[in-house]
């Protein structure tokens, strides 16, 4: 499995679709073992970061292989994490080393599964019985990959031609691929048990905020509509706005810190996130409406609903799945009206409807259906 993150990032609290699908696969008896390949560096800056975080850090298990540019660690009997910075110097040597490692481990009968569209070298370098690609957003429209946009578009076409199965996080992403017979839409999901656990102790940074608390969970980056968020903060000085997640750009914090009712609570671990959402009086998804957002499916939507919280969102891929449970608008004034309406919408019946709507969207059910399709192909 070629990951869209490093395993070390997941250990620090980062969570994404890749993380949840991997966990689901490890909990399914049909899967014997997974070699998870850490995010491959495509710039020297990223290579340095990977080297520090994945090769110099304390291993999270038994070291199976160690060289100057590569390390393989057995996290448990079913999961091995393979980290390398060879790709920044030589793709050929990276794949030669990976093939050699798989052979040493006796792994010859395997499926290749990728979340990483910046390389398609595995299509010719690895002899997997099946090639699976899970398209999480359209990276060619992501602001962080502007320089790689043309390469990404070419790679998506190659994946379309060569992959045996393609999963997409949104229906809109299906438009990237012409061979519709092997494309299947699987929206994001949620770990219901995790988000519905009870917490006897509440962290002070969220517990001490004045009510009501309007919450946003996730990486604070370009997809956040700063103008809309600023409008909401200005229109609601009596409400606390809690931003739970790492801030990618200093300018975002600088623009919103001038509001005394906006609170940056920072990155939280996956174990803590449900506790924070449970303290929200309403969850919001104020995302920009642009080409990138068209292809996304916000996990926070599922997480808010799993906690029974009312949700106000701008339109976007997959939001209509819960059109009866969410307040959806792109108009600033209407968004604010919906927000104030949502704060009143917390009676037992409304909460029950949200929990009922979300229960069919577990990660385990997503993984189960994905594996069914893989078995059919095999």
| φ and ψ of 248, to 5 deg | -80, -35
Instruction: Kindly report the CATH class assigned to 7-189+364-377.
Output: alpha beta
Q: Are strands 213-217 and 282-285 parallel, antiparallel or unpaired?
A: parallel
Q: What pLDDT, on the 0 to 100 scale, is given for residue 298? A: 87
Give the pair of three-digit tokens for residue 339: 């927000």
d(CA 338, CA 334): 6
The whole-angstrom distance between residue 329's C-alpha and the CA centroid of its chain comes to 24
CATH superfamily, with its number, for domain 192-358: Glycogen Phosphorylase B; (3.40.50.2000)
Write down the domain spans for the chain. Answer: 7-189+364-377, 192-358
Q: What pLDDT, on the 0 to 100 scale, is given for residue 317? A: 62
| φ and ψ of 180, to 5 deg | -65, -20
Q: What string of pLDDT tens digits covers the 378 residues of the chain? A: 999 999 999 988 788 999 999 999 999 999 999 999 999 999 999 999 999 999 999 999 999 999 999 999 999 999 999 999 999 999 999 999 999 999 999 999 999 999 999 999 999 999 999 999 999 988 888 878 889 999 999 999 999 999 999 999 988 889 899 988 999 999 999 999 999 999 999 999 999 999 999 999 988 888 899 999 999 999 999 999 999 998 888 888 888 999 999 999 998 988 999 999 999 999 999 998 877 777 778 899 999 999 999 999 998 767 888 989 999 999 999 999 999 999 998 889 999 999 999 999 999 999 999 999 999 999
Contact 232, 214 (CB under 8 A): yes
Residues 163, 164, 169, 170, CA torsion sign: positive
Q: What pLDDT, on the 0 to 100 scale, is given for residue 251? A: 87
pLDDT tens, position by position, 238-249: 999 999 998 888
Contact 192, 358 (CB under 8 A): yes
Fold match between 7-189+364-377 and 192-358? yes
d(CA 120, CA 318): 27
Give the pair of three-digit tokens for residue 85: 């910075």
The whole-angstrom distance between residue 331's C-alpha and the CA centroid of its chain comes to 27
């Amino acid at each position: 499995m070629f990951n869209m993150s490093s395993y070390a990032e997941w250990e620090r609290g980062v969570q994404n679709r890749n993380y949840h699908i991997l966990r689901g696969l490890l909990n399914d008896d049909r899967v014997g073992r997974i070699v998870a390949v850490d995010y491959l560096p495509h710039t020297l800056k990223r290579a340095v970061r990977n080297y520090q975080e994945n090769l110099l850090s304390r291993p999270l298990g038994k070291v199976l292989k160690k060289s100057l540019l590569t390390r393989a660690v057995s996290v448990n009997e079913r999961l091995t994490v393979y980290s390398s910075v060879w790709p920044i110097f030589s793709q050929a040597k990276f794949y030669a080393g990976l093939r050699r490692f798989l052979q040493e481990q006796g792994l010859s009968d395997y499926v290749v599964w990728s979340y990483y569209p910046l390389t398609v070298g595995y299509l010719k370098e690895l002899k997997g019985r099946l090639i699976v690609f899970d398209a999480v957003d359209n990276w060619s429209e992501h602001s962080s990959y502007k320089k790689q946009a043309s390469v990404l578009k070419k790679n998506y076409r190659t994946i379309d031609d060569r992959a045996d199965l393609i999963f997409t996080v949104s229906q809109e992403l299906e438009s990237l691929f012409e061979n519709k017979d092997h494309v299947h839409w699987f929206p994001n999901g949620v770990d219901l048990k995790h988000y519905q656990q009870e917490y006897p102790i509440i962290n002070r940074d969220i517990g001490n905020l004045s009510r009501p608390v309007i919450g946003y969970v996730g990486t604070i980056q370009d997809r956040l509509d700063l103008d809309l968020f600023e409008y909401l903060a200005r229109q609601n000085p009596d409400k606390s706005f809690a931003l739970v997640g790492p801030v990618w750009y200093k300018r975002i914090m600088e623009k919103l810190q001038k509001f005394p009712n906006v609170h940056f609570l920072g990155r939280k671990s996956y174990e803590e996130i449900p506790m924070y959402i449970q303290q929200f009086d309403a969850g919001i998804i104020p995302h920009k409406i642009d080409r990138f957002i068209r292809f996304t499916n916000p996990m926070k939507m599922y997480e808010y609903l799993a906690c029974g919280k009312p949700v106000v969102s701008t339109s976007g891929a997959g939001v209509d799945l819960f059109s009866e449970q969410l307040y959806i608008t792109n108009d600033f004034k209407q968004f604010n009206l919906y927000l104030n309406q949502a704060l009143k919408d917390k009676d037992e019946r409304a909460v029950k409807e949200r929990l009922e709507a979300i229960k069919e969207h577990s990660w385990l059910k997503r993984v189960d259906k994905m594996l069914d399709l893989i078995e059919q192909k095999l």
